């Protein structure tokens, strides 16, 4: 398949880990507004690990833009949060750089050639869920208690995989769509977003290359209960695929979405 971008195999991709400062945090809360009220993410837990008063939640949902005033209100709401210790961020960065980075991007390039960007930012916090932001190429690592660097790296890898995947997706289907629109692709049983959330199972969790980090023991269906059922329909396509592009095209037929 011709993906229409120049070969950049020698390119080095990197991830920079950072504190989530209040200004950036306010931006991310605003960007994830659909999550504040949304049951539509099919998740057990909420996206933020603190309460957002209804009044501010409404204001966030109803505002088209993050105004200076609203920004200040959100910052005030989160003013007491402690940032993650610098040394923890260093440890995660070190592990990622030494152990994961090279093989992760090599795997991504293998399946989704020329879809990785040269730099990603990963914010580390214990106050919100793992998430990804396509335009800014930023992701969030939810610093879960009691998890080591190897386990945490799997979350970083998943979020960055999503960024790479959606770029790949746009090339395959020759379409630019918002995340919401991709949600709407599909039927009762499966939509475009669900497919995107099944991909890490194959490319990360069940990929032998990452077994040495213990990723094979991670059960993603704890967070996404529907994964088990959907996998019954998707697994055969994964086994029979010619390559990753072929798989993606075929799996989208499950949600009545065809390539144009």
Site size toward Zn ion (CB under 5 A) is 2
**Side-chain half-sphere exposure of 104, counting CA atoms within 13 A:** 30
Which residue, 138 or 197, is less far from Zn ion as judged by CB?
Answer: 197
Which residue, 33 or 42, is less far from Zn ion as judged by CB?
Answer: 42
Which residue, 166 or 247, is less far from Zn ion as judged by CB?
Answer: 166
Q: Which residues of 104-142 are buried (b: 16+ CB within 10 A; e: fewer)?
A: bbebbbebbbbbbeeebebbbbbbbbbbbbeeebbbbbb
- Residues between 24 and 43 with contacts to Zn ion, criterion CB under 5 A: none
Which residue, 74 or 157, is less far from Zn ion as judged by CB?
Answer: 157
**Closest alpha carbon to 138 in 114, 156, 126, 111:** 156
Where does this chain touch Zn ion (CB under 5 A) — which range of 11-19, 49-57, 112-120, 156-164? 156-164
Report in angstroms how near the CB of residue 158 gets to Zn ion at its nearest.
5
Report in angstroms how near the CB of residue 120 gets to Zn ion at its nearest.
15
- Residues between 90 and 119 with contacts to Zn ion, criterion CB under 5 A: none
Report in angstroms how near the CB of residue 89 gets to Zn ion at its nearest.
21
DSSP β-bridge partners for residue 132? 139
- Residues between 129 and 148 with contacts to Zn ion, criterion CB under 5 A: none
| DSSP symbols for 157-203 | HHHHHHHHHHHHHHHHHT----HHHHHHSB-SS-BHHHHHHHHHIII
Which residue, 29 or 199, is less far from Zn ion as judged by CB?
Answer: 199
Report in angstroms how near the CB of residue 55 gets to Zn ion at its nearest.
30
- Binding string to Zn ion for residues 172 to 211, with x set by CB under 5 A, is what? -------------------------x--------------
Contact criterion met (CB below 8 Å) for 107 and 100: no
Report in angstroms how near the CB of residue 85 gets to Zn ion at its nearest.
26
Calculate ∠ Cα 198-203-208, nearest 5°. Answer: 130
Determine which helix (DSSP H) or strand (DSSP E) holds 33, and give its type and residue range: helix 33-37
Interface residue list for Zn ion (CB under 5 A):
158, 197
């Amino acid at each position: 398949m011709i993906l229409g971008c120049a070969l950049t195999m020698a390119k080095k991709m990197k991830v920079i880990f950072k504190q989530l400062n209040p200004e950036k945090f306010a931006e991310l809360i605003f960007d994830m507004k659909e999550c504040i009220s949304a049951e539509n993410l099919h998740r057990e837990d909420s996206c933020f690990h603190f309460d957002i008063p209804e009044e501010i939640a409404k204001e966030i949902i109803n505002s088209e833009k993050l105004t200076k005033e609203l920004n200040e209100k959100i910052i005030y709401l989160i003013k007491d949060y402690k940032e993650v210790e610098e040394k923890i961020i260093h440890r995660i960065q070190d592990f990622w750089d030494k152990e994961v980075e090279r093989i992760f991007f090599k795997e991504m390039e293998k399946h989704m050639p020329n879809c990785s960007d040269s730099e990603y930012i990963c914010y580390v916090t214990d106050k919100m869920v793992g998430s990804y932001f396509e335009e800014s190429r930023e992701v969030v690592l939810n610093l879960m208690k009691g998890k080591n660097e190897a386990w945490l790296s799997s979350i970083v890898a998943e979020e960055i995989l999503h960024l790479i995947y959606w770029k790949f997706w746009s090339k395959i289907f020759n379409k630019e769509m918002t995340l919401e629109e991709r949600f709407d692709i599909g039927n009762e049983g499966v939509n475009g977003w669900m497919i995107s959330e099944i991909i890490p199972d194959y490319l990360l969790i069940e990929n032998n290359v990452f077994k040495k980090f213990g990723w094979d023991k991670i059960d993603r269906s704890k967070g996404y209960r529907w994964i088990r059922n959907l996998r019954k329909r998707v697994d055969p396509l994964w086994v029979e695929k010619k390559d990753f592009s072929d798989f993606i095209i075929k799996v989208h037929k499950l949600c009545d979405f065809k390539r144009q």
